[in-house]
Amino acid sequence: MAEASRVSASRVLGRVYAGGYADILLEGELSGLSPQLRPFTTELVYGVLRWQERIDYVIRSFASVKPEKMEHRVLNALRLGVYQLLFLSGVPSHAAINESVELVRSLGRKKAGFVNGVLRKVGIEGSSVRFPDIEATPVRHIATFYSHPEWIVRRWVEMFGVEPTIELCKDNLVPPPKCLRVNSIKVPDAEGRLLLIEELSAVGFTVTPDSYSPDALVLAGRGRLMKADSNGLPDARYYFQDSASQLVSILLDPTPGSDVLDACAAPGGKSSHIAALMGNSGRLFALERNSARTGILEGTLLRLGVTIAVTVCADSELPLKLPPDAPHEFDSVLCDAPCSGLGVLGRAPDIKLRRVEADLGDLALRQKRLIENLSGYVAPGGTLVYSVCSNEPEESTEIIDAFLATHPGFIIENGAAHLSASCAPLVDERGFLRTYPHKARMDGFFAARLKRVE
Active site residues: 389
Report the Cα–Cα distance between both ends of the chain, in Å, rounded: 66
Kindly state the helix (H) or strand (E) to which residue 162 belongs, with its residue range. Answer: helix 162-172
> Residue 372 carries which side chain, given as an amino acid letter?
E
> If we measure between CA atoms, which residue out of 284, 287, 294, 285 comes closest to residue 314?
287
What is residue 390's three-state secondary structure? coil
Residues 6+ apart with CB under 8 A from 418: 250, 251, 253, 449
Q: How many CB atoms lie within 10 A of CB 452?
A: 18
CA 59 to each of CA 65, 81, 123, 401: distance values in angstroms, whole numbers, following the listed order: 9, 10, 11, 45
d(CA 153, CA 135): 15
Measure the CA–CA gap between 401 and 146, rounded to whole angstroms.
33
Nearest to 9 by CA among 47, 35, 60: 47
